[in-house]
Amino acid sequence: MARPLRILYAGAFYHVTARGNEKKTIFKHDADYERFLSYMEAVVERYGAVIHAYCLMDNHYHVVIQTPRANLSEVMQYLNGSYTTYINTKRQRVGHLLQGRYKAILIDADAYAMEVSRYVHMNPVRAGMVSKPAEYPWSSYQYYIGKKKVPTWLTMNIILDYFDERTSEGQRKYREFIEEKIGQGYDNPLKGAVGSSILGAEEFIRRIKKQYLQRRVIDGKLGVEDAGKILKRSVRQGGKP
């Protein structure tokens, strides 16, 4: 089976996730979560990445990230590699901490930024760890609703622009938007990704295919023809072109 596409360009907006090897715990103590957050701060400073939202669960994590330098591979190599080295040293272990490659879905931010942020921030509630997302300390949600002082490396204006930016009224509206789904089932927006790689409106997907797949801006060994086949197969199976 071919690996999911890695589409790279300046300013690309992604949902990225990685899971512990064999679904094992990767965060055991507060110090582990804090160390991972320090590495996220480092990718902002070193690689110019923009972190929009995140949620660190016990055996996996979610990050909404943008790459003005088109360098997602370097960002993730540093983030996952640094954390793996930290855990291996701390626990006196060797080998892989994370299961395979990280998964990155290119997002049409205009159409899906709000929904993806809600999906990320609702993770602890869906997992039954807390009753409300504000009760979970290891996500960016408490910053979005004004419960904690925002770190300099977290960027919230792109998403809060839909809710009157960073005003208290915007924070209230964002909280209502997130928490209206508590106790209700709702679809994971990422399930609509074409080829497990692109989530967006039809025009966005057409533009990405035309501008970037044809230029081979792909992290991996897939060629243009292979990429096209994957996308067409996904459409036949129910995705949108």
Per-chain mean pLDDT for the chain: 87
Phi, psi values for residue 102, rounded to 5°: -65, 155
pTM: 0.87
What pLDDT is recorded for position 211? 86
Tell me the pLDDT band of 236, cut-offs 50, 70 and 90: very low
SS3 208: helix
213 located within any domain: yes
Say which CATH number the domain at 211 has.
Answer: 3.30.70.1290
The β-bridge partners of 54 are 63
- In the chain, the amino acid numbered 180 is E
Contacts of 161 (CB under 8 A, 6+ apart): none
Total domains present in the chain: 1
**158 assigned to some structural domain:** yes
pLDDT at 165: 65
Residue 91 lies in a domain: yes
Asked if residue 60 lies in contact with residue 83, where contact means CB atoms within 8 angstroms, the answer is no
CB of 196 within 8 A of CB of 234?
Answer: yes
Answer whether residue 233 is part of any domain. no
